Amino acid sequence: MIDVVIPSPGESITEVTLGQWQRQAGDWVEKDDLLCEIESDKATLELLAPASGVFKPAVEGGSEQRVGAVVAKVDEKAARPAGREAAAAAPASSAAVAASNGGTSAATAAAAASGDRKVTPVARKLAADRGVDLARVEGTGPGGRVMREDVERNLGSTPAVPTSAPAKSTAVAVPSRAPTPASPAPVPGSRTARRERIPKIRQRIAERLVEAKLRAAMLTTFNECDMTEVMRLRNDHKDAFEKRHGVSLGFMSFFIRAAVSALRKYPKVNCYMFEEEFEFHDYCDIAVAVGTDRGLVVPVIRNAESLSFADIERTIRELATKARDGKLTVDEMTGGTFTVSNGGIYGNLMSTPILNTPQTGILGMHAIKKRAVEDPAHPGQVAIRPMMYLAMSYDHRVIDGAEAVGFLIHIKECIEKPERLLFDL
C-alpha cells in the first residue's frame, strides 16, 4: 500500500481543504492521475496518484485535513484490470483510448476536438475522461476560458467525442470522475436559498482586505493620462515585436516600466510599513492583480527594474496562465513591493484599489475612453483623445499627499511621453 499524503503548499500553511475525490473507491488509477484538488488560503494544488494501483480513500472529500495527513492509499500490488495492457497499445487517434493512457494523450485528443479554444488542463483532462466535446461547452472563465465546472455542467448532456479505434479494440476507459451535482434551475417565483462553504483562498482574501482597511491610513489620489503616444508606438511595432520576441506587446509593460521609474524617484512607495519600522527595498518586485474563478491573486514579477519590455510581457503571460489554471505556487504569490491592478480589462472606468499590505502603494489602471480634452499640441483647442483614469491608493502613515501626487504625475508623464522610459527620465 502506498500512502497518499497531503503535501505542504508552502511555509506556514498547516491545514488545507480536500476537494471532492475524482476517483471512486476500488477504481484503478495510473501513476500521476489526478485524485482531487487541495485548497489552502494561498494556493490550489493537485493531489496526484503516487503509483499505479487500486484507489482506496481514507477520508471523505471536502473535509479539512492537516498537512502530512494520509488521506488515501493506492494498492500497487493489486492485479491490473483486464484490458489495460491492450489499451496502452491501441491507436492514439481514439479519444477513448487516449483517455485510458493517462493525462497527456487524453489532453491531446481533447485539444484536437476543441481546436484552439482556451481550456484549463483540469477541464481538458476531465473532458477526455468523460467523452465531453469541448466544442459544445461554453466557457465561463476569463476570456471565455473553459473551466472544470463548465465541463461538469455538461456531463451527461453533451454528445461524446467520436472515436476512431478499431471495432475489435479491447480498450477500457479510465473510471470517470464523480461529477459535482448540478444545482437545479430556479423556478420563477421560488424563494429557495442555498449555502456554500467559503473557499479558504476567498477567506484569506477577505481577511487581508479587511486588515488593510483597519490598519492602514489609506487614501486615493486620481489623475488621467493621454494614451495616444503609447497606442501609436504599440500599433507601429506590435507585429515586429511579436515576431522578434514571440510575445504580444501590451500596455501593461509600459505601466510597469513607468511604475519602476516612479518607485526609484519615490522610494517610500516601494517600502513595507510595519508597526514601528519601514523596510525599504533596493529592488522592484511588482505584483500584478489577476482575476480568476477562485478569486483575486497577485503573482509577482521579480526584479522588474532589470527586465525588458519583452521580459515583462513574457512573465505576465506565464503568470496569468498559471493563475487561471490554478498552478501558481506560494512563492510566486509571496512578496511584491508594489502592486498594479488593471480593472480596465473588465471595462471599469474608475475605482479606489485597496492596499496589498504591508505594501504602501497600489496603482489602478482603468478603461481607455475617447474624451474631449484640450489638445496638448494646440492649447485652447479641443481634441478627441484616448484617455485613461489612473488611481493610486497609498498609506498616509508613510507617504505624504505631495509624494503620492508626484508619483502619479511621474507615471502620467512616462505614459504620455514614453521616450522618457528609454532615457530613464
Nearest to 336 by CA among 296, 295, 284: 284
**Helices vs strands, H then E, count in the chain:** 11, 19
What are the percentages of helix, strand and coil residues in the chain, rounded to 5? 35, 20, 45
Q: Is the dihedral of CA 295, 21, 110, 75 positive or negative?
A: positive
Dihedral pair phi/psi, residue 284, rounded to 5°: -120, 100
How many of the other CB atoms lie within 10 Å of CB of 322?
16
C-alpha cell at position 366: 482603468
Catalytic positions: 396, 400
The number of CA neighbours under 13 Å toward the Cβ of 51 is 16
Asked if 388 and 254 count as a contact pair (C-beta separation under 8 A), the reply is no
Angle at 48 between CA 46 and CA 54, to 5 degrees: 145
Calpha distance 126→155 (Å, rounded): 10
User: What nine digits make up the cell of 231?
Assistant: 497606442
Beta strands in 51-94 (DSSP E): 53-57, 64-66, 70-75
Spatial distance between the Cα atoms of 203 and 154, rounded to a whole number of angstroms: 29
CB atoms inside a 10 Å sphere around CB 79 = 10
Residues 6+ apart with CB under 8 A from 288: 252, 256, 298, 299, 300, 301, 316, 319, 320, 339, 340, 341, 342
